[in-house]
Chains A and B, each alone.
Chain A
Amino acid sequence: MNDSVIHIEGLHKSYETSAGLFPVLKEVSLHITRGEFVAVMGPSGSGKSTFMNILGCLDHPSAGSYRLDGHDVATLDKDALALLRNRTIGFVFQGFNLLPRMSLQDNVALPLIYCGVERAERHQRARELLVKVGLEKYFDSMPNKISGGQQQRVAIARALINRPSLILADEPTGNLDSHTSTEIMALFESLNREGITIVLVTHELDVAQHAQRQVHFLDGRIVNDHATLHTEASL
């Protein structure tokens, strides 16, 4: 299991603003192999979310190359990118991004609609995942009727529904209290043990402790990339 999932070389990203081009990512290179659990850290505004959106094929780099699972993303058309987002990547957002007015089961099953899975199977797989994230009692609840931690579990279940090989999470615990975030991190750890590669953005050191590797951003560059040092306290 030493093959490459994410291979990034010389990545640049600038936003066009009224004051001209605004560089956010400068000369970022990163290599992540299958099965890794990476925490991306750094101060606010250092470009972490921008980086994650590019990893998630939601946004395009201004320059540099990004190979995902061996495919050069720059050469893929919109449908192929949608397919990657659907099958290969599971994205977990800080704000959960569940669809309101849709039951948890339907929210979790939503990605399956876009790859032609039958209704019965969609529901069955969604229920299995809701059980897995500990929400067996809430199949038909609405997103606004459950807590933030529960919503984030639903979002994780949705990210998992198409059995992705990569999970990208941008501050998945940013809106949660420390107890709930420990639970969510335990969930990520167990997913990682099943072989899923995880890249996760966080501000909190103790959250980052769950990862095997930490990548530090500062002002649009990677300034530090090291294995997690497990202290007594975190174990």
Chain B
Amino acid sequence: MKLAMLGEAWRAMGANRMRTFLTMLGMVIGVGAVVLMMSVGQGAQYSIKQTISAMGSNLFVLLSGSSSTGGVRSGSGGSYTLNVADAEAIAELPGVQAIAPIHPGSAQIVYGPNNWNTSIIGTTPGYLDARSWPVASGNTFTDSDVRSATRVALIGKTAAQNLFGDADPVGQTIRIRQSPFVILGLLSTKGQGMDGRDQDDTIIIPLTTAQRQVFGSQFPGSVRMVMVQTTTQEIMPSVEKSMTELLRQRHRIREGLDDDFSLRNLTAVADSAAEATRVMSLLLGAIASVSLLVGGIGIMNIMLVSVTERTREIGIRMAIGARQRDILLQFLLEAIIISVIGCFIGLLLGIGGALLVELLTGTKVIIALSSVIVAFGVAATVGIFFGYYPARKAAQLDPIEALRYQ
């Protein structure tokens, strides 16, 4: 019985292929867009989560110079307001888990005939802890390396690749600004940072070595930035307050005057970036859903035309014994078949499109089962919802009126 009605619906669709195809197209585009948008959105959310967890959790970064004039001052160089003693004092604050003074820069690295310009981070071993960045092979340098300013280095994957190719860099000697450095360890892969830069294109050396031997700071002991990690995320606001108080006290800044440093909560920045991505992918999904809605309205439109056009057929069917529910089922099935097939094709196109996006732009896409299920569910619902009204209209025709219809 149901099977026979399915056959009738199928026959009607076959009788008007072009129209069926065009109606289906609305569904195809709607579902395709939803799947594509959801995949891209989920991919973006996934990548940002990766980036955030690669950054390390519960992080502050302290910068020399006030936030309002920091941009100008950092350019002048040398006038760093933070120093290693500040960092050591902060380390004693409750809730602080790790600190790492940082002296960043960049330099030309030479190994044999190869040379490569990369970023240099002068810091302490605490940096690797704060950023949860272990070495993949070899060892890290220690506090005693920092104390005695030894010429040792940790190398990131990308820098190593460019200098050593596939060879093992651990134990090799490179030259940074003419000075030889022994590579102690190869860092594990970090990927892209929040700013989009490749974090693996780097070399990490002891802070003192950077200051005294590589970049030759005018004021040894002062640093441009300090990374601070707290024990938990909840404690960050209170640590922020005590850190500010401590530094103002240490720097003897009187009430009412501006700080001579600025404090950034990296975790909060990361969270808002993640939130922005989430909102963006929701928005994309919403826009795509509109096209699904339009597809549904297209189905309703065609079904209404079809009911009018087939009024006589409906009359004949009723005259030979079709009940209202038989007619209803026939037209409803037609709408559902169109939307389900359209949905299936749309699904394939959406997935194909998502893979193509990944291939062409390199952005990560994630085709989640949930988005597939949602798309299918929505398509079936749209089919029933928009198919029901025309089908009911057909079923409620009066047999004799329908038969008289010309």
> Which residues does A use to contact B, with CB under 8 Å?
53, 56, 58-59, 78-79, 82-83, 85-87, 91, 93, 97, 99, 101-102, 110-111, 113-116, 119, 122, 158, 162
Contact = CB atoms under 8 A, between A and B. Distances in A.
Contact of A85 (B1, B11, B319, B325): B319
Contacts of B320: 85-86, 91, 110-111, 114, 158
Given A58-B403, A97-B403, A113-B4, A87 B323 contact: no
18 contacts: A56-B319, A58-B399, A58-B403, A59-B399, A59-B400, A79-B324, A82-B323, A85-B318, A85-B399, A97-B403, A101-B15, A110-B317, A110-B320, A113-B5, A113-B326, A114-B317, A114-B326, A115-B321
B316 interface: yes
Interface string B309-330: 0001100111111111110000
B208 to A, nearest CB: 89
Given A97-B316, A101-B15, A113-B8, A79 B323 contact: yes
Contacts of A85: 318-321, 399
A78 B327 CA distance: 13
B348 to A, nearest CB: 30
List of 8 A-B pairs having minimum Cβ-Cβ separation, nearest first: A86-B321, A82-B323, A113-B4, A59-B400, A111-B320, A116-B1, A114-B321, A58-B400
Contacts of B313: 99
A177 B342 CA distance: 49
B319 A97 contact: yes
Interface in B272-327: 312-313, 316-326
Nearest to A53: B400
B400 A82 contact: no
A87 B320 CA distance: 9
B399 A83 contact: no
A79 B326 CA distance: 10
Nearest to B2: A116
A93 B317 CA distance: 13
Interface residues of B, number: 23
A201 B325 CA distance: 32
Interface of B: 1, 3-5, 8, 11, 15, 312-313, 316-326, 399-400, 403
B310 to A, nearest CB: 10
B400 A99 contact: no
A121 to B, nearest CB: 12
A53 B403 CA distance: 11
Contact of B321 (A99, A101, A111): A111
A56 B320 CA distance: 10
Nearest to A59: B400
Nearest to B14: A101
Contacts of B15: 101
B394 to A, nearest CB: 14
B4, B11, B15, B325 — most chain A CB neighbours (10 Å)? B4
Contacts of B5: 113
A114 B322 contact: yes
Contacts of A86: 320-322
B177 to A, nearest CB: 85
B1, B319, B325 — most chain A CB neighbours (10 Å)? B319
A99 B1 CA distance: 19
A82 B15 CA distance: 26
Given A82-B318, A119-B4, A114 B323 contact: yes
Nearest to A82: B323
A78 B4 contact: no
B183 to A, nearest CB: 78
A59 B400 CA distance: 6
A27 to B, nearest CB: 22
Given A78-B323, A101-B11, A122-B4, 5 more contacts: A82-B318, A101-B15, A113-B326, A114-B317, A114-B323
A97 B311 CA distance: 12
Nearest to A109: B4
A116 B2 CA distance: 9
Nearest to A116: B1
Contacts of A87: 321
Contacts of A102: 11
A79, A99, A102 — most chain B CB neighbours (10 Å)? A99
A56, A83, A113 — most chain B CB neighbours (10 Å)? A113
Contacts of A114: 317, 320-323, 326
Given A101-B15, A113-B5, A113-B8, A162 B321 contact: yes
Contacts of B321: 82-83, 85-87, 111, 114-115, 162
A26 to B, nearest CB: 19
Contacts of A162: 321
Contacts of B399: 58-59, 85
Contact of A91 (B4, B11, B319): B319
A114 B15 CA distance: 21
A122 B325 CA distance: 21
A63 B15 CA distance: 42
Nearest to B12: A101
A85 B318 CA distance: 8
Nearest to A56: B319
